[in-house]
A and B are shown apart, each in its own frame.
Chain A
């Protein structure tokens, strides 16, 4: 992880760590914080706890997003402190869409088109808040359609259950917008629970979401998504998401959290060692699907 971040994540980059609730690579975010990257444009549909931590650590110049909350719990307080009222630190620029808008931006980026049309935003104040949401007249029907610009990140980081050494990556469960984000990106870092032989990938090709040809680096990092989850490996740590409300609300507590669990550990293995009961509490039960016949 250290090498991958050091080689492929640079100051000033647009960085995407995707994953909708599922497979959010906290291990990569923590390494970016440890390497003290600065002036990043952080883009994600849901900034989640990981971008709240990166904002608090001073990595971000700008945030591009569509829903900035702590799902099922409440607020991202480092984010709120950066943008709210007279307390706004002024250091964080924001660019805001809806989920469909963000998905469409990645779709355009992945298809190497300049924009993507969608039927949306009429009657809302979102285009007023974000002038990059525009409209175009359909050349066939004349209908006014909303447009959003392509998003082409410098680097996209995707966590997955498994990949081979060449980066052919398989995931299951919620797959969010990772495929589009990866194809839209200049560089792709894949972080996996398990490194598997190419033959395993070839035995179930429909499950491959990201092909090795677009991958810059493969990192093997078990539990790298905690407190997010990996279907079939470990459950979401909902207790930690609830605890984050209290931690992020108090800047001193947040600083102490970063000192202890991010700066205070060299890597994910050490992070897990600090929390010895975590694995037993969250380990997934076995529920294996029936395979399919690929013969001909």
Chain B
């Protein structure tokens, strides 16, 4: 997943990095095809160049050697709301048919069965980044028809589009999973199956999704990570297996 996500990033882009797998994907991209990727962390590090894989998005290694360190009011107002972020990476406990993400509660808000951490910067990243990429492992409970709580807005609900609601960014364009890649349909906004990992069938992906998954007429093959990618991930970027658990 990290290698597939890394390929989505183009050299020179400005990316708002979240913790976990996105962090690994961004650092892999920087070490391979996108050396000029600009990593911005909500903690205030701009153009970070971490010498160790950060455990949190506030790790001191993000500061050392970065291009700029600013306060969080600047991160959200001068970078994000200003429109400077090209790619936002989001994960979540639940992702639904239209790419809405829930990181707030499972169950009702007033009496949640499971209380999740909440938005952090995710809501505003989903609103403002020119495009967002979602990274999540397939599982029908994690991919319900509709999320219990919309923390980060996807491609619209009840037929109301993002533009109509005044959202500057295009929202989630892809969902990168551990079995295939979903893409937002340009007209309906629905997440549809677009590519499969080697040895995986469309039915395997459907089994991990809680709604009848539409398919592109021709499904692409996801190119597996190269040996060089794997060596970088396992030996250099995440030798302690902070994120490469699964």
A236–B121 CB distance below 8 A: no
Q: Interface residues of B: mostly helix, strand, loop or mixed? A: loop
B58–A122 CB distance below 8 A: no
Interface segment, one of B133-141, B164-172, B179-187, B216-224: B164-172
User: When chains A and B are docked, how far (Å) is the Cα of A123 from the Cα of B153?
Assistant: 5
A124–B56 CB distance below 8 A: no
How many A-B contacts are there with CB distance less than 8 Å? 177
Q: Which residues of B contact A180 (CB under 8 A)?
A: 71, 73
Smallest Cβ distance from A181 to chain B, in angstroms? 10
Seed contacts A96-B104, A119-B127, A124-B119; 8 additional CB < 8 Å A-B pairs: A20-B44, A69-B116, A103-B73, A104-B73, A121-B123, A124-B152, A179-B71, A241-B55
A68–B71 CB distance below 8 A: no
User: When chains A and B are docked, how far (Å) is the Cα of A173 from the Cα of B113?
Assistant: 38
Q: Does B231 contact A (CB under 8 A)?
A: no
Q: Which of B19, B59, B64, B242 is packed against the most chain A CB atoms within 10 Å?
A: B59
**Quick one: given A22-B60, A124-B151, are A174 and B69 in contact (CB under 8 Å)?**
yes
One of B112, B156, B165 near A83 (C-beta < 8 A): B112
Smallest Cβ distance from B26 to chain A, in angstroms? 15
Q: Does B117 contact A (CB under 8 A)?
A: yes
User: When chains A and B are docked, how far (Å) is the Cα of A177 from the Cα of B72?
Assistant: 6
Q: Does B211 contact A (CB under 8 A)?
A: no
Q: Does B42 contact A (CB under 8 A)?
A: yes
Smallest Cβ distance from B97 to chain A, in angstroms? 14
Q: Which residues of B contact A252 (CB under 8 A)?
A: none
One of B58, B149, B151 near A174 (C-beta < 8 A): B58
Q: Does B85 contact A (CB under 8 A)?
A: no
Q: Which residues of B contact A26 (CB under 8 A)?
A: none
B69–A120 CB distance below 8 A: no
B167–A21 CB distance below 8 A: no
User: When chains A and B are docked, how far (Å) is the Cα of A278 from the Cα of B214?
Assistant: 55
A173–B60 CB distance below 8 A: yes
B115–A176 CB distance below 8 A: no
Q: Chain B: residues with CB nearer than 8 A to chain A?
A: 19-20, 42-45, 55-60, 62-64, 69-73, 76, 80-81, 100, 104, 107, 109, 111-124, 127-128, 149-154, 156-157, 160, 162, 165-168, 242
**Quick one: given A98-B122, A100-B121, are A174 and B166 in contact (CB under 8 Å)?**
no
User: When chains A and B are docked, how far (Å) is the Cα of A121 from the Cα of B165?
Assistant: 10
What 7 pairs across the A-B complex have the smallest Cβ distances?
A21-B58, A123-B153, A69-B117, A67-B120, A71-B56, A98-B119, A122-B165
B168–A174 CB distance below 8 A: no
**Quick one: given A123-B165, A125-B149, A173-B69, are A66 and B104 in contact (CB under 8 Å)?**
no
Interface hits, A203-259 → B, CB 8 Å: 229, 231, 235-236, 238, 241
B55–A72 CB distance below 8 A: yes
Interface hits, A72-106 → B, CB 8 Å: 72, 75, 79-80, 83-86, 88, 96-100, 103-104, 106
B73–A67 CB distance below 8 A: no
A84–B115 CB distance below 8 A: yes
User: When chains A and B are docked, how far (Å) is the Cα of A176 from the Cα of B100?
Assistant: 28
A126–B56 CB distance below 8 A: no
B56–A175 CB distance below 8 A: no
A126–B151 CB distance below 8 A: yes
User: When chains A and B are docked, how far (Å) is the Cα of A103 from the Cα of B124?
Assistant: 12
User: When chains A and B are docked, how far (Å) is the Cα of A22 from the Cα of B54?
Assistant: 13
User: When chains A and B are docked, how far (Å) is the Cα of A103 from the Cα of B76?
Assistant: 8
A129–B121 CB distance below 8 A: no
Q: Does A144 contact B (CB under 8 A)?
A: yes
Q: Which residues of A contact B128 (CB under 8 A)?
A: 119
